[in-house]
Amino acid sequence: MKAIILTTPGTTDNFSYRNIELPHIKDQEVLIEVKSISINPIDIKTRKGQGAFLYANLDPAKEYILGWDISGVVTQSHSPAFKPGDEVFGMVNFPGIGATYAEYVAAPANQLAKKPANISHAEAAGATLAALTAWQNIVNKGTVKPGDRILIHAAAGGVGHYAVQIAKHFGAYVIGTSSAANKDFVLSLGADEHIDYKTRQLVENVDPVDLVIDGLGYQSALDSLDLIKPGGMLISISAPITPETREKAAKFSIAAEFTSVRPNGTDMNSLAEVLHSGAIRSYISKTFAFIGMAEAHHAIESGRTIGKIVVNL
């Protein structure tokens, strides 16, 4: 099979397309013929030697296949959950080695769900790491309920565009931030209010909220505390909580936490349900061919993409 090997951490010049052996599946794993792969900021950080190199203690002297997010078709199964021919999607082995930049991937069955028949492989691949992050923080950690007021930073991005839709699905009042160029997109996802972070001061324009999902980090997390009700919650997904933010949060009785997404078949099945019903959808703003993996990385690296970027095989 063809795979993209990262020969050494650095630029996309270090991607090498090679023919390698098919992966062997272990007990409770399936082999998936990959149809679509989605790309996230963590792919870029890892390619540069940060991200999973740090989380999973990878050896920079070794070669790795990057990637976690896929949708595809099961070709072999060592699990009763799936049989050959099943269409599945999921985030594989995060934050370890998912090895999804390849034509075939070995994946634990309990990290997958069946792809809804009414969405494409590209839409399904998009709704993995980013959608799981939104689900785990808004539903599991944030315990969203009708009437909750939720502020979502970077609402036009991968995580943000799912977070807005998931929060609305559970009856929350949603405020999303983005540049003016993406205002209509954020409102089209169901956000009740839009804030252009470049021109409008958040504190002056937002009434107190119960939960902030912060995909920007550091100063944004610190400043967001001024917007949260006592007893509310700040969830930072892009950077650890600094001592200054922790101290200020404690003073205002706000829970402040950094979270990291984890594979979870139950959450994947929940996502499959809301994708199937149409309650949430993946917005894929750009697709690339497998040979265009470097361009897909450059797009995400810009920090300006809308919704998800997907590579189709």
Nearer to ligand NAP (CB atom), residue 30 or residue 66: 66
Kindly state the smallest distance separating residue 158's Cβ from ligand NAP, in Å.
3
Nearer to ligand NAP (CB atom), residue 41 or residue 72: 41
Kindly state the smallest distance separating residue 166's Cβ from ligand NAP, in Å.
13
Residues 6+ apart with CB under 8 A from 309: 38, 39, 158, 284, 285, 286, 287, 288, 296, 299, 300
Kindly state the smallest distance separating residue 303's Cβ from ligand NAP, in Å.
5
Nearer to ligand NAP (CB atom), residue 3 or residue 122: 122
Kindly state the smallest distance separating residue 122's Cβ from ligand NAP, in Å.
15
Please give the DSSP secondary-structure letter assigned to residue 102. Answer: B
- Residue 102 tokens read as 């390849």
Nearest-5° Cα angle at 132, 130 to 137: 100
Residues in touch with ligand NAP (CB under 6 A): 40-42, 129-130, 133, 153-154, 156-160, 177-179, 181-182, 197, 215-216, 237-238, 259-261, 300, 303-306
Residues 6+ apart with CB under 8 A from 168: 174, 189, 190, 191
Nearer to ligand NAP (CB atom), residue 231 or residue 303: 303
Nearer to ligand NAP (CB atom), residue 74 or residue 189: 189
Q: How many CA atoms lie within 13 A of 277 on its CB side?
A: 10
Cα separations (Å) of 243 from 192, 203, 228, 256, 309? Answer: 33, 22, 18, 11, 34
Nearest-5° Cα angle at 96, 58 to 159: 120
Kindly state the smallest distance separating residue 83's Cβ from ligand NAP, in Å.
31
Nearer to ligand NAP (CB atom), residue 81 or residue 239: 239
Residue 265 backbone phi and psi in degrees, to 5:
-65, -35
Kindly state the smallest distance separating residue 24's Cβ from ligand NAP, in Å.
29
Q: Are 291 and 103 in contact (CB under 8 A)?
A: no
